[in-house]
Amino acid sequence: MALTAYNMKTKKKNVPFSGTPEIMKTKNKRYLVQGKDKDGNKMASAISEANALAAIKNKEAKKGW
């Protein structure tokens, strides 16, 4: 499962993260993936708890809380 997001700058969907993104937990107990694309543009995407924990377990993302 590759983590992807919408790139606001280029207006493209399903852009993969470059490097290892970080998963953050909001105060409302939701999960966000934050990182950069290959061009260095910042991206973020909301994901489910199951996908967030699976990405951390598979070492696709870093735990940020």
**pLDDT by residue (tens digit) across 52-64?**
999 999 999 999 9
Give the closest residue to 8 by CA, choosing from 47, 43, 51, 40.
Answer: 43
State both tokens at 45. Answer: 């995407």
- pLDDT for 7-25, tens place per residue? 989 999 999 999 999 999 9
Contacts of 4 (CB under 8 A, 6+ apart): 13, 14, 15, 16, 17, 45
Q: Which two tokens stand for residue 63?
A: 């735990």
Tell me, yes or no, if the pTM score tops 0.75: yes
pLDDT at position 65: 85
3-state secondary structure of 28: coil
Assess contact for 45 and 33: CB atoms under 8 A: yes
Quick one: average pLDDT of 18-47? 94
